[in-house]
Structures are given as structure tokens and as C-alpha cells.
Structure 1
Amino acid sequence: MKFSIGERDAGKTILSFLKEKLKVSGQVIKRGVDQGAVRLNGVVERFSSVRLQKGDLFEFDQAQLKEKQEFSLPILLEEENFLICSKPSGLVTDQEVFKKLLGRSVFLVHRLDKDTSGVILVATTQKMQKKLEALFKSRKVRKVYMALVKGVMQQRSGTIDNRLMKKKTYQGQAIWGSTKNPKGLRAITHWKCIGKAPGKSLVQCEPETGRTHQLRVHLSEMGHPILGDHHYGREAKFPPEIDRLCLHAYRLVFNHPDTGEKIQVTAPIPKLFKI
């Protein structure tokens, strides 16, 4: 579909314009826009809140429209009072959603962003939920992430130790950034580059803290936004095959709160990340 935006449609958002043209839900349109279905004046535009201007050349690829995606939540490890699962990218971390997919009552212990895949821990009793939450709060859980980032890293490893604050809101989502303000939340990330290819690097990240969007902010501010991160790498041009946020919760390591046994679970790295 191609349109030349006239006076009647000038000022409308991409979302409202497409809702008038297509008989699908706003959610489906947003998903399509986010996946790169829209080109505005020849450039991919992934934000459905952008307003159109008179004279804009608007292109929309209907083939990229996808109805509600079906998800599964594979179990990597099952203990008496908790499960460790492999969350797919695109699945929201929601207790009721997990309950439906797993077919049993579960209680969230921590969260992964909707577009982040990988290892996630849920309790099957509220008593165990509190014990596991205490491990996270006391930083007794080792979390290892893999991130495929834009650009070839020159340094091999390092530690970022700064403070983060909410800077603004975009499309209803908080955008965080580093700050000198003492009221900011301390954020510590240890990172190591473990692979390089033309235009990209594979980075292993271990956050000591669990701040909102911590890894996304830290990597972006290093000049290496995560591929597919259209909030913290909005100005970056990503390869066309990147159809998701390339951040993966690779491994969780902790001691069982009741037995003291070491628990270590890994979710295989997605093929898209392979270098």
C-alpha cells in the first residue's frame, strides 16, 4: 500500500491513519509498525505515534501484519516449589498469562521485559515466592545475559557503575538514562565481548543490580545499542533480518533456598545471535 499524504490526513498519527484504512485492531497495527511494516519517505518508521505531514510518501507492507501470536513457555527445570522456564521474546511477564500457559498457579519472582527472551524463575507457592524474592533482593542470584549489539567493540571487557533516572516517557514507556543526580538509582553492569562480526558484537552482561532497562541503557550509552532496540537505539539503522530485541537472559545461578544446592540453568542462545 502506498499513499501520498494529503491535507485531510496531515496531522494524524500512523496508528490512526492505518486504523481508518485497515479492518484490524490497533494492537495488530502497532505490532506490524514495530516490525518495520511502515516506510515514511523511504525510511522505516517503527513508532505508530509519529504524526504524518502533508506531502509524506507513506508505504505499508500488509504482509507483515500478524494476528495474535501463539506462545509456549517451555520448562527448563522443575523443582517441588518452583519452575525455571524459557520465556520467548514478545511474551509479557504476567502472572495470569504464565498460569494459563503452564496450566497451574504460579507466582512471579522477577521480570523480563516483554521483548527479552530467556531464563525466568517462577514459584509455585507463595512461601517459596518470598524466599526466592529475598535472594534477588540480597543479590544472591547470578544473572547472565547475552546481547547482540550494533558495531564492533574495541574493548574486551569492563564494568559500568553509574546512576540511572527516568528521563522521559515515549509511547507510554519510561525512557531511562544515566545521571549525576544523587537521587538516581545505582546501576552496575559487568560486561565482556565474546564475539565479533562485521557491524556487530556479541556481549555477555552480568548486572549486579536490576534497574529498569539497565542493560539497554548501559550498552546504548557505550555507543553499542542492542540490535532491535527501537527505544534506546532509535537513531541506529538495524539489519533487515533483526525482527526482535536481541537481548537474552542466558543463565541463572543461585543456591536453593531450602537445601542450599547450587542451581544453574541455561536457556540456549537464539540462532539470530550466532556470530
Structure 2
Amino acid sequence: MTSGDGANDDLVTGVLAGAGRLDRGLADATGLSRERIKALIADGQVTIDGRLAGSASAKGSAGAAFKIVMPAARQSAAAAQDIALSIVFEDEHLIVVDKPAGMVVHPAAGNADGTLVNALLHHCAGQLSGIGGVARPGIVHRIDKDTSGLLVAAKTDLAHHGLARQFADHSIERAYLAVVKGWPDPASGTIAGRIGRSAQDRKKMAVLPSEAKRGKHAITHYETLQKLYRAALVECRLETGRTHQIRVHMASIGHMLIGDQSYGRPDPALRPMLLKIGFHRQALHAAVLGFAHPANNNKMRFCSTLPADILELIEELNGSDYENQRV
């Protein structure tokens, strides 16, 4: 795949790897989301073997040559705001930040400002990739509002394409630390299952039946690092990156994240302790992020220590008062 670097529109070219739905094949080949591909097809920006692509659901053919015109970035709808950032790494291509819990990644309904994008626009003086559109400049991936930890944003379209491709082919290293209810048995393992919108609550995600045709394939590897009072500290490594993947997968095996308000049933025995320390978010932290630098292919790997609130949670769950009460 190649991409242009003109002052105006950007041209992305390549060939389809296999047959199947056009939007899926183009997403796999470019690292762009299927929704972004659908919008570009609808806008007449995609050609296949020299012909305008007519439908996202059309069948693509292996080896077919594609061209995608990426419209030049428009003025961002988000406003630059002077919000402090914990910067782990930065160069002219990308920036890695350690996001605090409580910060939304990009503006959306109910969160028009105060987001990571607002902070990045100020810090980077507007020099962010335009591929994410006016609401999400520079955003290649995201983590939930109440999840803390590492996130990379792209300053250039070249970096955005390169990082998105690595996310698409699952070569990004991502490890999360989570405090979950109970002790997983077995202590380590792999959870695989399609994740999609819950039929009972469209605001939630769920592990779908194996025969379901909707949703997306998801794989999470987990390992118990420390047994606590009625809980455990686990490391979760992602092969895929689906919405709420760790929260949904751990809840599906009976070990919801401590503090999660959406998935699973909280342990009543832990409620007084959580109230005592004021812990009100899911205990999830993006601790490791590794990738190949999209400009020079150098291996990059960053680690983030647990934030104070999760450390306090672990200390409380590991306290001497509970030594005779462990599950």
C-alpha cells in the first residue's frame, strides 16, 4: 500500500488480498475502519480497477487494484484547550500519552470539550492527522473514559496509516492490568468469542452466541498476577481491540472488573471497602503499548505504572484485616 503526500488530498493505493465484501477487504488492506471506508465509497472517493466503487457490500476480487482519495483535512470542529498532558514520547510523527481516568478521548454527544483531542490540538498546535475526521484528528485508537493508561495519536497521515495498519493486523502489543472479582480458575487462559451489541441493552456490548453472524471476533489472553481478598490482579493481553473487550470477556467468565458499573454483578462484600476509598471506576489500566514506528520501523515499547487509585485499591484488598477472609 502506498499513500500520497500532497498538500491537498491524499491518495491511498494498493491491491485487495482476497475475495469478499469490499468494505472489509479495503479496511484490511488500509487499516481504516469499515465505517470510514463506507463513507468514502458513498462520497465517490474509491475506485476498483479504475471503476468507481458503487457499494460497500459489493464483492471484491483478490488482486484488484484500488485507489482511495482521502480528502484533505478540514478545520477541526474541536477547540484547542490548554489541558495538562502526561507525555511519554513525542516526535514529529506521533505522540504517546498516559491518559488519566475520567478523560474522554474525543468529543462526542455529552462531551463537547475537555477531551484528549482538545488537549492534543493545543499541545500539537493543530498538527494532527486529519484521517480521523474533524471530530477525531490524530486518533488511531481509544480507551474508555474511565480506563487509564497509554494511548498513541498520529501527527501525520503517514503515521496514521502505519499505526492503523498495525492495529488492523493485530501486531500492536497491548497489555492491560485489571482488578477483577474473585480468583480466575484456571489462573491463566484465553477467552475467545464474538463481541457485538447486546440485544437487551444497545448501550452495552456482549459475547454473542457462536452461531451469531454479527459482531466481531475477539481474543483476550489473561494471567493472574496476584490473589487478593475476594479479587485478583490480572494481566490481559489483546489480540484484537473490540469495544469494551476486556470488560466483556472477563465478565463472561464470571470475573467482572472491580468498579465496573455496566458488566456483571458486584460483590456485596466489597461495597463497604470501595465506598471507604471512593473507588468508582472500572479497575483497568493500559500498562504496555508496543508498535513499530511508522516512519522508520524502529521498535517502540512503552510501560505505564498503575495509577494511585488502583494501587490504593490493591493495597486495601491485600490488607492484613482480610488475611483470614480470602476466598
CA distance in 2, matches of 1:178, 1:199: 28
Q: Taking structure 1 as reference, are residues 268 and 235 closer, same or farther at Cα in structure 2, changes over 3 Å only?
A: closer
- Secondary structure at the aligned position of 2:208 is classed as strand
Correspondences of 1:133-172 after superposition (within 5 Å): 133-168=164-199, 170=201
User: 2:100 is matched with which residue: 64, 88, 91?
Assistant: 88
Aligned-pair distance for 1:131? Answer: 1.5
Q: Which residue of 2 aligns with 1:56?
A: none
CA distance in 1, matches of 2:88, 2:168: 23
Q: Taking structure 1 as reference, are residues 77 and 199 closer, same or farther at Cα in structure 2, changes over 3 Å only?
A: same
The normalised TM-score by structure 2 is 0.58
Q: Is the 8 A contact 2:158 2:295 kept in 1?
A: no
Opposite residue 88 of structure 1, the aligned amino acid is P
- Secondary structure at the aligned position of 1:136 is classed as helix
- Secondary structure at the aligned position of 1:92 is classed as coil
Q: Which residue of 1 aligns with 2:291?
A: 254
Q: Is the 8 A contact 1:160 1:190 kept in 2?
A: yes
Aligned-pair distance for 1:116? Answer: 0.8
Aligned-pair distance for 1:267? Answer: 1.6
User: 2:209 is matched with which residue: 168, 179, 185?
Assistant: 179
CA distance in 2, matches of 1:145, 1:127: 27
- Secondary structure at the aligned position of 1:217 is classed as helix
CA distance in 2, matches of 1:200, 1:72: 33
Q: Which residue of 2 aligns with 1:214?
A: 245
CA distance in 2, matches of 1:200, 1:226: 9
Opposite residue 256 of structure 2, the aligned amino acid is P
Q: Taking structure 1 as reference, are residues 160 and 99 closer, same or farther at Cα in structure 2, changes over 3 Å only?
A: closer
Q: Is the 8 A contact 1:164 1:179 kept in 2?
A: no
Opposite residue 249 of structure 1, the aligned amino acid is A
CA distance in 1, matches of 2:221, 2:296: 29
Aligned-pair distance for 1:110? Answer: 0.4
Percent same amino acid among aligned pairs?
34
Correspondences of 1:1-275 after superposition (within 5 Å): 72-94=84-106, 97-102=115-120, 103=122, 104=124, 105=126, 106=128, 107-168=138-199, 170=201, 173-183=203-213, 184-237=215-268, 238=271, 239-240=274-275, 241=277, 242-274=279-311, 275=314
Aligned-pair distance for 1:92? Answer: 0.8
CA distance in 2, matches of 1:98, 1:229: 22
CA distance in 1, matches of 2:84, 2:203: 26
Opposite residue 255 of structure 2, the aligned amino acid is H
Aligned-pair distance for 1:192? Answer: 0.3
Aligned-pair distance for 1:99? Answer: 4.0
CA distance in 2, matches of 1:84, 1:130: 16
CA distance in 2, matches of 1:232, 1:208: 21
CA distance in 2, matches of 1:72, 1:116: 17
Q: Taking structure 1 as reference, are residues 270 and 175 closer, same or farther at Cα in structure 2, changes over 3 Å only?
A: same
Deviates more, 1:181-190 or 1:134-143: 181-190
CA distance in 1, matches of 2:182, 2:174: 24
Opposite residue 257 of structure 2, the aligned amino acid is I
RMSD: 2.1
- Secondary structure at the aligned position of 1:186 is classed as coil
Aligned-pair distance for 1:154? Answer: 3.7
CA distance in 1, matches of 2:266, 2:94: 41
Q: Is the 8 A contact 2:93 2:295 kept in 1?
A: no
Residue correspondences, number: 205
- The one-character-per-residue Cα deviations of 1:200-249 (angstroms, maximum 9, x if unpaired) are 10010011011111110111111110011110024543432322111111
Deviates more, 1:222-231 or 1:151-160: 151-160
- Secondary structure at the aligned position of 1:94 is classed as coil
Q: Is the 8 A contact 2:182 2:255 kept in 1?
A: yes
Q: Is the 8 A contact 2:98 2:149 kept in 1?
A: yes
Q: Taking structure 1 as reference, are residues 71 and 228 closer, same or farther at Cα in structure 2, changes over 3 Å only?
A: farther
Structure with the higher strand share, 1 or 2: 1
Q: Which residue of 1 aligns with 2:58?
A: none
